[in-house]
Structure 1
Amino acid sequence: MKSISFIFQYLLNPRKIGAVLPSSNYLAAKMVESIDFRNAKYIVELGPGTGVFTDKIMKSRIQNTVVMLIESNNEFCTFLKEKYKNEKNLIIINGYAEEIDKYTKDFNIPYLDYVVSGLPFASLPKSVSNAILLKTKKLLRKNGIFITFQYTLVKKGFINHFFKHINITREYRNMPPAYVFCCSN
């Protein structure tokens, strides 16, 4: 999907898209570097957009790892379904991240090893962010990891209410530079 189309989607839904341009490959690499792909059975990506993080996940996962993408934007969802139409063990849902528990139940996913999020928590309503983080925390297995990025540290304290441990790194080669939060309990 071209950057013009991404920009158009941002202009239509700035609170949901959260960025004018897709994330860089540098940020994508940093987002997945803490995933143990050899042992991951279930990975969910929230707000995959055009699939920059998804590409890294799909290239690194082992064949039987189940990956679920939850994307609320119809255009992005259609794009992802076409882009990954030949992938096995990939579930693409045109829905809302706050219903992560419903989708995992619908597809008999008992727990999650990793949740990777491209959601703009700084611009989402607090009630939506609460629901997403609470349900994500409950679905993660022991030692499971929630990975997200933000452009500021303003939501660190909020996310810390759900996850005791947050390791933060910075990716300067993204536009704009981003913080990666690697969260666990």
Structure 2
Amino acid sequence: MNSTQAARAPLHQRVRRKAERMFGPAGIFFKGFVKHPVMVGAIVPSSRRTIARVLSKVDWERCDLFVEYGPGVGTFCQPVLDRLRRDARLIVIDTNPDFITYLARTIGDSRFIAVHGSAADVESIVRQHGYDHADYVLSGLPFTTLPEGVGPAIMAATQRVLRPGGAFLVYQYTARARALMSRYFHRIDKGFEPINVPPCVISWGWKD
């Protein structure tokens, strides 16, 4: 877009672009929270300590495909890409088109694929990109506040799409989601990261 086109754009679009330039990822994240608080679930991105703890159990040498639900502004994306093998892939799935547009524009890595869609459709999304399964799936979705039936659908699809020995990495702000998780994953490792806003409950559900 040139300067003449920018000047002709509606006022709300110009204000939005100015806010995005001023506040960067934090502004995009906050806008996403305001528009879709039930789906975003947090008002600030996760801390570096939380990221490191959540990813600590991943066997990166055995990871061909890593999937993330609800990537937001990419708080986990670059840390995952930094650890991922050069021939592996990261697919992120989000229902918020603002996040997907932002990530596609700002992450210039050939291993990265941003998909506008639902995590409940992870199996078809994985197949569309040439894979039979995922090795690890990461989620910060607020399972306890999702619309009725959505949480179980996502859990069931995730259990099916994972390879044996793979894991579902879930970070939440309460432990209540573990009851739902335990219906699909019999082995769940538990963790907690206090240096986060708010403190973070972590679960690793393993597929036997």
Decide which of 37, 44, 47 is 2:70's aligned counterpart: 47
Separation of aligned partners in 1, 2:145 and 2:195: 23
Partner of 1:182: 204
Partner of 1:116: 138
Deviations 1:124-143 (A, max 9, x none): 12411111110110111111
Separation of aligned partners in 2, 1:114 and 1:144: 6
Instruction: Give secondary structure in 2 for the equivalent of 1:157.
Output: helix
Decide which of 33, 37, 46 is 1:10's aligned counterpart: 33
Cα contact 1:98–1:128 (8 A) shared by 2: yes
Cα contact 1:81–1:92 (8 A) shared by 2: yes
* Runs of 5+ unmatched residues, structure 2: 1-23
Separation of aligned partners in 2, 1:38 and 1:76: 29
Separation of aligned partners in 1, 2:25 and 2:163: 36
Letter in 1 for 2:94: E
Go from structure 1 to structure 2 and tell me whether the alpha carbon gap of 1:106 and 1:155 turns closer, same or farther (over 3 Å shift): same
Partner of 1:97: 119
TM-score by length of 1: 0.95
Separation of aligned partners in 1, 2:201 and 2:87: 30
Instruction: Give secondary structure in 1 for the equivalent of 2:60.
Output: coil
Separation of aligned partners in 1, 2:49 and 2:140: 14
Separation of aligned partners in 1, 2:206 and 2:32: 32
Alignment of 1:155-174 (within 5 A): 155-174=177-196
Cα contact 2:28–2:99 (8 A) shared by 1: no
Decide which of 109, 133, 144 is 2:155's aligned counterpart: 133
Shift of 1:47: 0.6
Q: Percent identity?
A: 28
Deviations 1:37-93 (A, max 9, x none): 112111111111111111110011110011111111111111110121x21122110
Shift of 1:153: 0.9
Partner of 1:70: 93
Instruction: Give secondary structure in 1 for the equivalent of 2:62.
Output: coil
Equivalences, count:
184
Shift of 1:173: 0.5
Instruction: Give secondary structure in 1 for the equivalent of 2:51.
Output: helix
Deviations 1:3-32 (A, max 9, x none): 233222211111011001111111111111
* Runs of 5+ unmatched residues, structure 1: none
Cα contact 2:25–2:73 (8 A) shared by 1: no
Letter in 2 for 1:146: F
Higher relative contact order (CA 8 A, sep 6+): 1
- 1:60 paired with 2:83, answer yes
Shift of 1:147: 0.2
Larger radius of gyration: 2
Letter in 2 for 1:72: T
Higher helix share: 2
Letter in 2 for 1:156: R
